[in-house]
Chains A and B, each alone.
Chain A
């Protein structure tokens, strides 16, 4: 057995290196894929009422946030579909999928914050507006 290992040492090293490279590639691919992954934190008057991992949403579905507010979520995006606020501006905004485009309704104190699950140096940390 020892002799076998000795004669095939180079083979083991090559196989090991290939496995190692495959592992590294997998990590890189996973990390790139996750960069686009977004979760939505929904606040009502400063209280975090719901967190949704938008990456896990496979179909479009409606979620009630309060008696007056409903949101629609789909993979990677969220929008307000029902709100009895006077301006309706939050509904007009449509789907948002970027941390740079939070959804805000000043009337109800609604704040939908989008956060990248895997942040990098190039991601947006905070939005001015």
Chain B
């Protein structure tokens, strides 16, 4: 009898361990106009603070609505271009972000031209549609037509160069006279920053983590128990099972959309037409860590360009991208692996 009691006591004791809360550090902050959650299952609180500092720095650098003392950011660049400046000195950190679309072109051996489809300088067009969604009123058709014409005429083009005449820590952004360029880096910032955060985690040898930069950009290592994460796809019943050591980049219309005259309009705009795309509701790109810095942009690229696959015909890519296309809550055409 005594042994049975001892056994039950042991069982109860271990059951208590089962109920113990998992260790680790969690912090939620609001940057890039979204809620960001940092979960570290190893390391210490100082690591969380370092990541918060990285996120805050890039939030300020890419902020299109506020300026910050001693920093040339997207808002100050846009203001300078509006005032007629054609050459603006920027930090190399910002220059690196602005170069991402061209880097993607090169990454895919110029088989795809993301820079032609995901344009960072068409903030004016993006803002027109954001206002339209807000006010549930379609923008003026002539205004859209004019912007598309200006895009075709190169008025939204820009160049980023690291000039020999400037110090090593700065670059120069050059636009044409009477340029229409207004930057909106929403399509790439979070993916780019996730790269920086990932580099930090590698440097600190932290392998167990999950960082959710507002659903569209998720960085996962391993769970505390070494297993992967189950990633649900918003607006669907689809779950990506056991995902670890990966980057998940998502372009989705579900958060910012409205219905006008029975048709759905959202914030992801095809610069070739000036209008929102309507092929997919959501595109999710999952890629292993070594490729993830381009993934965020690629999800938007595939969203805008449904015929993108034709660019890959006959091309032997060594990269491992898993692309999921969703429409009306359903996965279309299986999972594409590149």
Within 8 A of B (CB), among A59-96: 86-87, 89
Name, among A20, A100, A122, A123, the residue most crowded by chain B CB atoms within 10 Å (CB to CB).
A100
Query: Roughly how many angstroms separate A47 CA and B31 CA in the complex, as a whole number?
Result: 11
Q: Is B258 in the interface zone, CB < 8 Å from A? A: yes
Interface footprint category on B: 35 or more
| Contact across chains for A100 and B234 when beta carbons are under 8 A apart | yes
Name, among A5, A111, A121, A129, the residue most crowded by chain B CB atoms within 10 Å (CB to CB).
A129
- Residue of A whose beta carbon sits closest to that of B228: A125
- Residue of A whose beta carbon sits closest to that of B133: A87
Within 8 A of B (CB), among A95-126: 98-102, 104, 106-107, 109, 111, 121-126
Q: How many A-B residue pairs have CB under 8 A?
A: 111
| Contact across chains for B136 and A46 when beta carbons are under 8 A apart | no
| Contact across chains for A128 and B234 when beta carbons are under 8 A apart | yes
Per DSSP, are chain B's interface residues mostly helix, strand or loop, or mixed?
strand
Complex contacts, B252 vs chain A, CB 8 Å = 129
Q: Is A33 in the interface zone, CB < 8 Å from B? A: no
Complex contacts, A16 vs chain B, CB 8 Å = 1, 4
- Contact A45:B229 (CB < 8 A) given known A87-B133, A87-B256, A89-B257: no
Q: Is A127 in the interface zone, CB < 8 Å from B? A: yes
- Contact A111:B35 (CB < 8 A) given known A48-B28, A86-B133: yes
Q: Is B153 in the interface zone, CB < 8 Å from A? A: no
Q: Residues of A within 8 Å of B, CB-based: how many?
A: 35
Q: Is B255 in the interface zone, CB < 8 Å from A? A: yes
- Contact A124:B29 (CB < 8 A) given known A86-B134, A129-B215: no
Query: Roughly how many angstroms separate A87 CA and B1 CA in the complex, as a whole number?
Result: 68
| Contact across chains for B218 and A109 when beta carbons are under 8 A apart | no
- Residue of B whose beta carbon sits closest to that of A16: B4
- The smallest C-beta distance from A63 to any residue of chain B, in angstroms, reads 19
Q: Which residues of A are at the interface with B, using a C-beta cutoff of 8 A? A: 5, 9, 12-13, 16, 20, 23, 27, 43, 45-48, 86-87, 89, 98-102, 104, 106-107, 109, 111, 121-129
Instruction: Jot down 10 A-B pairs with beta carbons below 8 A, ordered by A.
Output: A47-B28, A89-B257, A100-B234, A100-B239, A106-B33, A106-B256, A121-B227, A124-B232, A126-B210, A129-B250
Top 6 nearest A-B pairs (CB, nearest first) are: A129-B234, A46-B30, A100-B232, A86-B134, A124-B232, A45-B30
